Amino acid sequence: MEPRTPQEGEYQGVRNDLFTPGDFDRGASFLKEVAWQFIKIWFFLSPWPWPSRIKASLLRLFGAKVGKGLVMRNRVNIHMPWKLTIGDHCWIGERCEILNLEPVTFEDHVSLGHDVYIAAASHSIRSRTMAYANKPILIKRGTWVATRTMIGAGVTVGENCVIGAGSTVLRDVPDNSLVAPSRSTVIAQRVLTED
């Protein structure tokens, strides 16, 4: 079904009610997604400290590529394990969220501190209908993403980086970089275009 365009006299700004997912591919059947929700609630979102080896096995069962030596803490929210690749000896802290509507890849020895938000999903800031702007994320080997950091859609973080606590990363980061959060500032005016 095609999204309806606003009629004369109607509100001409952002219209969330006109949102459609477009050609977005969820990558799994409805039954697989339902099954994942139950597994996620019991083994990943639970405060119970299930062993990391059990979580790694369950992720593999649902299509994730997981290397050896994964350490995964409690209350981790992974939306689509079939779109997730985790290298060897990675560490994922408590309450991390991986919103992977597109593929997310962590190479070997990547560490995510607690409360890290990885968002391979977004919406176009110029779209009146909040059209998707989902893009993959790659975090290269040896990188530490500190607590309460957000990594946005389409970002590649280079090797051996440290992303400081509370950072928001919306652009690629070169190898061996240190990233620190800065004050929030207005950077541009939002201009809407027709879809």
Please identify every residue annotated as catalytic.
Answer: 123
Q: How far is residue 66 from each of residues 44, 139, 171, measured CA to CA in Å?
A: 15, 14, 26
Question: Under a CB-based contact definition with an 8 Å cutoff, are residues 138 and 175 in contact?
Answer: no
Cβ-based neighbours of 29, under 8 Å, separated by 6 or more: none
- The residues with which 99 forms a beta bridge, in sequence order, are 119
Structure tokens at 149: 């950091």
Give me the torsion for CA of 180, 72, 101, 103, rounded to 10°: 80
Q: In 3D, which of 76, 118, 70 has the Cα closest to residue 95?
A: 76
